[in-house]
Amino acid sequence: MAEVPANVRFARSGLKIGTCQSAFFSAFLGTQAQKHDFVANVLVIVTEGKYAAGMSIATYIKDDLAAQLSSGRELSVQLTLDSLAEHYSVSLTPVRTAVAELIDEGLLEKGPNRRLAITVPWRKRSRSRQTKPPERPCDLYEVVASDLVQLSLQGEPIYLREEVTAEKYGISRSAIRNILHRLAGEGMLDHIPRRGWRLRPFRQDDLQAFIEVREVLELKALELARPKLDADELQRMLELNVPPASSGISQSVDESLHEYLIGTADNAYIKDFFDRQGRYYRLLFEWEDHDDSVAIETIRQHHEILTALLKKNWSAARKTLSHHILDNHPILSQVEGISARQE
């Protein structure tokens, strides 16, 4: 079973948090040869061995410190590498990068004792300056989850080590451990004593089995929820699922319809299935929705289901919900040959 190499990361190929360019999916859904060589399409060797996410954190730290220095206020943290790393919950790597840039720009300097200090000219000049603090970088949980979903599509149980993973993302071990624990709770990882974290491999057969059971239980949830459906709530969700008037517009998919039906059904066994078995696949489905064409089709199908529910056309609602569950995974359904390769 392979470990993640120290100098390998995912090529984002235009992937953004909450949105995804088509380049990655074009490569993924290209020729049959490309499908079978999935790793070559997704993984790339990076000589510096750093995740792009780590650089955004370093930039945020630098900009945040610069904003505080510009305001003329006392810093909220001591000017030592360890204190800064603890304050921002990161490793020393992005802190060193941020501090080096602040020194280059003349905001900080190293004294004779090698301690960091605000430069005297800047301290005097900054009293009258007002600088807006920077926005925090993207949620690293989303970054790590997206990366691990792609990695799981190799279909191999890969082991992750906290120290290497934390270093690559430029955050502290405690921060990456918290993220990995959250992903374990979502069914993405298992913690193996003395081995690290084992990534759950994607299996096409498992996905199809889950989808079949999901259809049965969610249609049952619709049947149980039907007398208790709230028209105002359905209308609210309908307004969140309006297909765009033109293509090329990034869409955010609202998945609250499914949670609403399951919750309103008020069946403990149906809820337990989705709580325990559905989390891993929810991550996969959210990743798949990063593709604009998939997101638009999902929104269109949600709109069709909700319209039927509001009209109390129950047969149409069942039919469209069934189709939506069974036939709305154009990217994941193409991940074939990967699991067979493991046998």
User: Is the backbone of residue 244 left (phi > 0), alpha (psi -120 to 50) or beta?
Assistant: beta
In CATH terms, are 8-49+138-199 and 53-128 the same topology?
A: yes
CA distance 318 to 97: 55
* 143 alpha-carbon distance from chain centroid: 4
Reading the chain (343 residues) residue by residue, the pLDDT tens digits are 444 333 333 322 233 333 333 333 333 434 333 333 333 333 322 223 333 344 467 888 888 888 887 776 677 788 899 888 888 877 788 888 889 999 888 888 888 888 888 885 555 554 445 556 666 656 688 888 888 988 898 888 899 999 899 888 878 888 899 999 999 988 899 999 888 899 999 999 999 999 999 999 999 999 999 999 999 999 999 999 998 877 666 678 899 999 999 999 999 999 999 998 898 998 899 889 888 889 999 999 999 999 999 999 999 999 999 999 999 999 998 886 444 444 4
Which CATH architecture fits 204-334? Up-down Bundle (1.20)
Strand partners, 197: 160, 191
**Fold of the domain spanning 53-128:** Arc Repressor Mutant, subunit A (1.10.10)
**Fold of the domain spanning 8-49+138-199:** Arc Repressor Mutant, subunit A (1.10.10)
Find the Cα–Cα–Cα–Cα dihedral 174, 175, 176, 181, rounded to 10°: 80
Ranges of beta strands (E only) in the chain are 8-10, 15-16, 19-20, 43-45, 108-110, 116-118, 159-160, 189-192, 196-199
The pTM assigned to this predicted structure is 0.61
Q: Are 128 and 122 in contact (CB under 8 A)?
A: no
Among candidates 97, 104, 103, 130, which has minimal Cα distance to 117? 103
The residues spanned by each domain of the chain are 8-49+138-199, 53-128, 204-334
